[in-house]
Chains A and B, each alone.
Chain A
Amino acid sequence: MKSDRRLVRKGSLEKLFEVLKGDNRQVYAPFSRNGRTTYRKTEKFSDIATDYIQTTQSSKEVSFPRTEKILDYSKNEDGMSVKGIEPDQIPQIMLWGIRPCDALGIGELSSIFNWDYKDEIYNNRLSKVTVLGFSCGKADEYCFCTSVGGNPGNTDGSDILFTQLGENGDYLAEILTEKGEKVIALSPELFETAGNIEKEKFLADVPVKFSHKEIFGKLEKFFESDEWVEQSLRCIGCGACAYVCPTCACFDIQDDSHGKLGSRVRCWDSCGFSLFTLHTSGHNPRNVQSARWRQRIMHKFSYMPERLSVYGCTGCGRCSRACPADMNILEHLISIKEAAL
């Protein structure tokens, strides 16, 4: 649908927040503490962080929780009873304040969960999420959304995208989907008619450093390159990059057993872990860290575009901010771009 543009006064945001909280809905918003900004269920408008470039953790948890029950079992005298989780146990979530890169990441993550087999657990959760994106007025040296098909005011993935019109200014609200319209319907008086607003003027400047398409082309013949070893020498295989990534979907399945009762859970995993691909026989197809780093980059910039027609990176920069060994994906991608074949 064509986006509907409205103006929301700065003072009206709190009213909107209060309206969204009601009626079995939860608002997830960024919350800052000890230098970390994370999404959490928020009750008070004043708790919402405003001065953040990017949240420490992505918002993917709302549709892909880090540990998620996929079934419950109980052993009894008659045998075994096994039950899946029910969709009505999943809450309606208003996801407040996510950046355009994270909103873009939702589609990339969804493409993995809907490739051929449709993962209804994931889809059910996502269907209950309304995405209220906030454009970026600021960026830092880790940001590179413009190199991977995004931009600081990108509307992809948001149901409504808010852009603040200057510091302390009012907000332009772009209503992008039916879910977005439903939000307006809750409190139409907060959404005034917008005049002719040039949104681009208020967006952060994120210079283009490379093109993801050019990385894709390069990677076709890059599998055997020494560059992977060079780049990953300092990788400690901690998996932090995958945990903060909005599009990393790799998971493990484990049983959580308590005597006769228990659950089977799906939990986040990382291709950076040495045990990730280890066979029971002891053989490991990706037996060195460079092979695991290669998998991370190849998956996002070669395999995903080829198999799913989307890239697996939104340029949010979180992996570089989180890396304890100071690996920087932007620098590494530029090295790949510049490396001789």
Chain B
Amino acid sequence: MTNNLYMPYQMKVERITYEAPGVKTFMLRFVNEEDQNKFDFRAGQFGEYSVYGVGESTFCIASSPTRKGYIECTFRQTGKVTNALSDCEEGSIIGFRGPYGNTFPLDEWKGKSLLFIAGGIALPPMRCVIWNALDLRENFKDITIIYGARSTKDLVYKHELQDWGSRPDVKLITTVDPGGESPDWKGEVGFVPTIVEKVAPSSMDTIAIVCGPPVMIKYTFPVLAKLGFSDENIFTTLENRMKCGFGKCGRCNVGKVYVCKDGPVFTLAQLNKLPDEY
């Protein structure tokens, strides 16, 4: 068939990185070089990853579009498909279709400072934007990353956190929930919203990008408002259940808004207009 929307690209699992308990990152390369050459995506987009015989699962592309020739995804082993993915070895072939959804408007953010706030397994969708911004570092003013997880072992991308922490052009603050610190932990201890309040980043000419569990997001938005961030300058992503990824299967909509097509990236101003159904 000329154009089967559901036909995945065949991807080879080239490298598997253990990130945290139950969390892995796959580096995927296109089996067919032609697919790779025509493939293009922007920060914030997602795809459907599949293990043949088990099914498809939705997550973001966690690598930056500035890094060509491969994509990466990071997932936590929770359901049927992520368990099957977790059983894959380097060299395994999996399916990927995408990219779907809208993007973070990095072009519009030129000349501004960026504040990234992430919790737990929600760093992957943001990592794509962080690397995208760092690869175009001259386009932005200050870059601040506040990242928290339940415990030190739950922090993902531990090597990259070290890298970001040692860069003079990035301000990185890591935190773990009270009780989650190890004896040698040098970061902050406290929930993400509390740490954001403590660090009190400036809202002057700054875009805040917030990804995390609903409860973290809920308590972080008021802190940002207090710091002077307007709803238009706060970005987040919605993660609803999806099957198709392109507005047909009927389950990801929040009111008339389709997360797969109108999202997954939304400003707080846009979220405020949605019914409370996400």
A120 at the interface (CB under 8 A from B): yes
Asked if B240 contacts A285 (CB within 8 A), the reply is: yes
A191 at the interface (CB under 8 A from B): no
Asked if A257 contacts B53 (CB within 8 A), the reply is: yes
The 0/1 profile, CB within 8 Å of A marked 1, for residues 152-183 of chain B is 00000000000000000000000000000000
CA–CA, A113 to B4, complex, Å?
13
B201 at the interface (CB under 8 A from A): no
A87 at the interface (CB under 8 A from B): yes
B1 at the interface (CB under 8 A from A): yes
Main SS of the interface on chain A? mixed
B277 at the interface (CB under 8 A from A): yes
B53 — which chain A residues lie within 8 A by C-beta?
73, 75, 255, 257, 262
Known contacts A71-B4, A264-B6, A266-B6: A116-B246 contact under CB 8 Å = yes
Stretch from A7-15, A27-35, A77-85, A164-172 forming part of the interface with B: A77-85
> What residue of chain B has the Cβ atom nearest to residue A252's Cβ?
B243
Asked if B55 contacts A86 (CB within 8 A), the reply is: no
A119 at the interface (CB under 8 A from B): yes
Contact pick for A115, options B10, B31, B56, B247, CB 8 Å: B247
Not counting A82-B7, A253-B6, A255-B54, a sample of 20 additional A-B residue pairs whose C-beta atoms are within 8 angstroms of each other reads A70-B7, A71-B4, A75-B53, A79-B10, A80-B52, A84-B6, A118-B5, A223-B255, A253-B249, A255-B55, A257-B53, A264-B50, A269-B250, A276-B241, A276-B251, A277-B240, A280-B78, A286-B277, A291-B277, A303-B255
15 contacts between A and B (CB under 8 A): A80-B10, A84-B4, A86-B1, A87-B1, A117-B246, A119-B248, A120-B4, A121-B6, A253-B244, A257-B53, A264-B6, A264-B52, A295-B253, A299-B250, A299-B253
Residues of B at the A interface (CB closer than 8 Å) are 1-8, 10, 31, 50, 52-56, 78-79, 82, 93, 95, 214, 239-241, 243-244, 246-256, 261, 275, 277-278
Residues of A at the B interface (CB closer than 8 Å) are 70-71, 73, 75, 79-80, 82, 84-87, 112-113, 115-121, 124, 223-224, 249-255, 257, 262, 264, 266, 269, 271, 276-281, 283, 285-286, 291, 295, 298-299, 302-303, 306-307
